Structure 1
Amino acid sequence: MKFADFHPGQVIHAGPYVVTPEESVAFATAYDPQWFHTDAQAAQDGSFGGLIASGWHTCAIAMRLVVDAALHDSESFASPGLKYVRWPHPVRPGDALRLQAHVHAVRRSESRPELGILEWRWQLFNQDGTQVLELEATSMFRLPMALRQLL
């Protein structure tokens, strides 16, 4: 999608993305090697009753879905950060995750008129409709010259 295609109130859907046990453990082993992400035997006796995916893996999956659904071939080039990130429920190997991205604001940067700013909330839900991720992100876009003059 191009920056001009986004509008407040818009909801973008993507998925499902199925989390495999191998992927979940491999990500955690490389980036978040806590026992409840990497050791199935120990995790069975833990608070979650089995392996759970790293929250950072969950964020990476959300990013993949957002790129596939909205940012691929766009003018997006960076993000200054997130307002917040929450993992209300764990992701388990085998979960099928779906994205809902809610566009809150679309505007031109006041200090840099060549930039478009997109503020949006991303949510991931598993196959049961349980929310497993919520975050608010800001994305920056380089505006084409023609669009700079219109906004």
Structure 2
Amino acid sequence: MKLDEFTIGQVFKTKSKTLTKDDIMRFASEFDPQYMHVDEEKANKGRFNGIIASGIQTLAISFKLWIEEGFYGDDVIAGTEMNHIRFIKPVYPDDELHTIVKVLDKQPK
């Protein structure tokens, strides 16, 4: 889609992806090796009561799911800024993720 085809308030929902414990631990061991992502024994005693996905991993998956929808064409240059990112709920093994994209504003740059 081109910029003028997006409408303020328009909402898109992507397909889903389920993360396994192996997915979480493999990603984290390379990019975010904090104990709650890679050490099951220690994670079970921590505040999340088990292994959780890295926030960086959930962001990457969310962006991938959005791109795969095909709305984000070659004419749209975006992703240069992210504001107000909050990790509201931990992502545990076998949780299903999807992305909801809402058009809040649009400006040619």
Report runs of 4+ in structure 1 exceeding 3 Å deviation.
none
- How high is the TM-score relative to the length of structure 1? 0.66
More strand per residue:
1
Cα deviation for residue 58 of structure 1 reads 0.7
- How high is the TM-score relative to the length of structure 2? 0.89
Aligned residue pairs: how many? 108
Do the aligned partners of 1:3 and 1:74 also contact (CA within 8 Å) in 2?
Answer: no
Give matches, 1:2-41, under 5 Å.
Answer: 2-41=2-41
**RMSD value, Cα:** 1.4
Query: In the alignment, what sits opposite 1:76?
Result: 76
Residues 38, 26 of structure 1: CA spacing in aligned structure 2 closer, same or farther, 3 A cutoff?
Answer: same
Q: Which has the higher contact order (CA 8 A, sep 6+)?
A: 2
User: How far does the alpha carbon of each residue in 1:89-137 deviate from its partner, in whole angstroms, 9 at most, with x for none?
Assistant: 100111111211110112323xxxxxxxxxxxxxxxxxxxxxxxxxxxx
Q: Which runs of 5+ in 2 are unaligned?
A: none
Once the two structures are aligned, what percentage of the paired residues are identical?
A: 31
User: CA separation in 2, counterparts of 1:22 and 1:5?
Assistant: 40
Secondary structure, aligned partner of 1:43: helix
More helix per residue:
2
